[in-house]
Structure 1
Amino acid sequence: MNYILFLKAFLAKYKGIKDNQLLFQYLREELQYLILYVLYTGTRYPVYFMGGTKLRLSYGINRFSEDIDLALDKPDLDFPAKQFLENIASAFSEKVTGFSLKSNLNTNRNVIKLMFSFSKVLFDAGLSPLPGQTVKIKLELDKNPPDFASYERKTYRSMAGDYMIGTYDLATGFAGKIAAVLFREYQKGRDYYDLQWYLQYKPAIGINLKYMNANSVQQGKNTFENEKEVLAAVIEKVKKLDLLLLRQDLERFVVMDARSFGEWVENYIPQTLNLLQTH
């Protein structure tokens, strides 16, 4: 696929939407699909898709997401970060052409961070008067993932074509989201939105307790004997939730009218506590 075809397909698919902010979210989402298409059809790294963007693209969760979160199938602190970036860039130039794309690399002991910056596309889509304004998408790869993750395969449909992708299964994703709620050093509203989604999912999702405890050990925290202990810890976090911060983090990501969103925020704590207590 080339850039012109991508742009035409995007404009045709979303022609009925007049809200530019919503169009921007869909544009970023289509670029996320494209990056994953390149990664999974143009390279052969043992990486698995996880996190909130995975919920959006795999299950249609009713909020948008910014980043692409991946994990290796097993810890490898010597994973070649520079080669990883170079191979993705090379695959991108072969699989999809004509994009104005820049990328940069930042890495630490446990995580590789790649930033992809797409220029021109906002201008050409009529979403910005500035040709140089960019859409930035961060890709993070965990080189040291907790043990005991379980996986599933999904078919994704990008504007460049269909492809198979390896992702964390729901029980592992649920455990990972709970770990984020319990151990993240700051409150992130999107964690709590996703938490409620997991709790409402039918049939009910169990927690991958082995993965949860491996995550806890990595964070220097105590392990859990059973799911009941995990949920009890989450209940205490939800009771202390700052609703203003929840609203501020989520308002540009959720697909909800202002009134419905306000009601959802106001009811979040009692509704989620009930879900936790009856899960």
Structure 2
Amino acid sequence: MANTHPHITAMLQNYDLSKDDPYEALREILQEIVLYALSDASFFNHAVFYGDTALRILYGLPRFSEDLDFSLLKPDPSFDLSKYEKAVLQTLKTYGFEAQIETKVKEQSAVQSAFIKGNTIKHLLAINAPEDIVKSFNAGKLLKIKFEVDTEPPLNFQEEQKLHLTPTPFMVRSMKPSSLFAGKLHAVLCRGWQNRPKGRDWYDMVWYIQNKYQVDLTHLATRLIQSCKALQDTEVELPKEIELYTPELLVNLLQKRVDTLDIELAKQDVHRFIYDEKELEIWSKDFFFAIIQIIKFK
């Protein structure tokens, strides 16, 4: 059996591998290690954590999430994500995980991406996963974590320092929930669906509302002014000034988005990330029309 690092043993107590998806649980453990590595390398002097995984790890969203998303504190086209590769790989190795990392800088894109890849079987063995779980995975299956940094981010967000306790106590600079909620509504309104709406966006929106979080209206307006892919080719014209964005306007835009939502496809997208599919039984256009009426803006 593998000689599992005691911090990993402690982190495994948060999961029931007979119920939780072991792949998602393992990926989440590695996500937290990557966050610790970045914190230790002073990455959060320059950036904040945001997105679905920030909501999951720092604020308790009850579903797994795939990617690590970060925003610089101010635009910096010269920012170099690759300088953190060594720190991430070394910290993963300290905890018993062998991996490779590839950083990509896309032309004509302000987003820098890095992909961490490792052998799933080896990583499951490293955490002493039960033999039947190990055998359920193809020998060549890779565990993948993508993390991205927006080097020309929409600003006007609220931030805070969050203490995170695993794998060992460290500080994470994060957007506050109100600004995270703004980012989520931007995704609901602006993400290109093609043939598959991202049901996770709608699930998260409902969670924010259930937990009585308010939307950072200024940050949402800033995001919408910068870009809104889904509305670019429609007849909807968005205001160019922050002051023109009102709760009434945004609720109206959300209602139009609900009109085009395929509920069943949205359910199919989110079901593997959540614990109880009964949560989705209430989903309908009438449900979403009703719940967006109680969104609170600040």
Residue in 1 that maps onto 2:156: 148
Helix, strand or coil for the counterpart of 2:134?
Answer: coil
Structure 2 CA distance for aligned equivalents of residues 39 and 57 of structure 1: 15
Structure 1 CA distance for aligned equivalents of residues 209 and 288 of structure 2: 8
- TM norm structure 2: 0.81
- Any unmatched runs of 5+ in structure 1? none
Residue in 1 that maps onto 2:232: none
Structure 2 CA distance for aligned equivalents of residues 199 and 237 of structure 1: 17
Q: What is the correspondence of 1:73-222 to structure 2 with a 5 Å cutoff?
A: 73-90=73-90, 92=92, 96-108=94-106, 109-119=109-119, 120-124=122-126, 125=129, 126=131, 127-129=133-135, 132-158=140-166, 160-186=167-193, 187-202=197-212, 204-205=213-214, 207-219=215-227, 222=238
| Partners of 2:38 and 2:84 within 8 A in 1 | no
Q: CA RMSD in A?
A: 2.5
Aligned length: 268
- Deviations 1:118-147 (Å, cap 9, x if unpaired)? 321134424333555331111111111102
Is 1:274 aligned to 2:272, yes or no?
no
Amino acid at match of 1:121: H
| Partners of 1:121 and 1:134 within 8 A in 2 | no
| Partners of 1:39 and 1:88 within 8 A in 2 | yes
Structure 1 CA distance for aligned equivalents of residues 86 and 170 of structure 2: 21
Helix, strand or coil for the counterpart of 1:175?
Answer: helix
Amino acid at match of 2:160: E
Helix, strand or coil for the counterpart of 2:273?
Answer: coil
Structure 1 CA distance for aligned equivalents of residues 68 and 61 of structure 2: 15
Percentage identity across paired residues of the two chains? 27
Helix, strand or coil for the counterpart of 2:163?
Answer: strand
Closer, same or farther: CA 12–250 of 1 in aligned 2, 3 Å:
closer
Residue in 2 that maps onto 1:51: 51
Structure 1 CA distance for aligned equivalents of residues 21 and 82 of structure 2: 34
Q: What's the offset of the Cα at 1:91? A: 5.3
Structure 1 CA distance for aligned equivalents of residues 3 and 238 of structure 2: 50
Structure 2 CA distance for aligned equivalents of residues 214 and 11 of structure 1: 38
Structure 2 CA distance for aligned equivalents of residues 58 and 268 of structure 1: 29
| Partners of 2:186 and 2:220 within 8 A in 1 | yes
Amino acid at match of 1:183: C
- Deviations 1:59-78 (Å, cap 9, x if unpaired)? 22121101111111111112
Closer, same or farther: CA 195–80 of 1 in aligned 2, 3 Å:
same
Q: What's the offset of the Cα at 1:237? A: 0.7
- Any unmatched runs of 5+ in structure 2? 229-236
| Partners of 1:153 and 1:166 within 8 A in 2 | yes
Structure 2 CA distance for aligned equivalents of residues 268 and 48 of structure 1: 35
Structure 1 CA distance for aligned equivalents of residues 12 and 218 of structure 2: 46
Amino acid at match of 1:39: L
| Partners of 1:79 and 1:143 within 8 A in 2 | yes
Helix, strand or coil for the counterpart of 1:100?
Answer: coil
| Partners of 1:113 and 1:138 within 8 A in 2 | yes
Q: Given the alignment, which residue of 207, 231, 254 partners 2:251?
A: 231
Closer, same or farther: CA 48–132 of 1 in aligned 2, 3 Å:
same
Structure 1 CA distance for aligned equivalents of residues 280 and 43 of structure 2: 44
| Partners of 1:14 and 1:23 within 8 A in 2 | no
Q: What's the offset of the Cα at 1:271? A: 2.5
Q: What is the correspondence of 1:240-255 to structure 2 with a 5 Å cutoff?
A: 240-255=260-275
Helix, strand or coil for the counterpart of 2:74?
Answer: coil
Helix, strand or coil for the counterpart of 1:278?
Answer: coil
Structure 1 CA distance for aligned equivalents of residues 145 and 174 of structure 2: 19
| Partners of 2:5 and 2:96 within 8 A in 1 | no
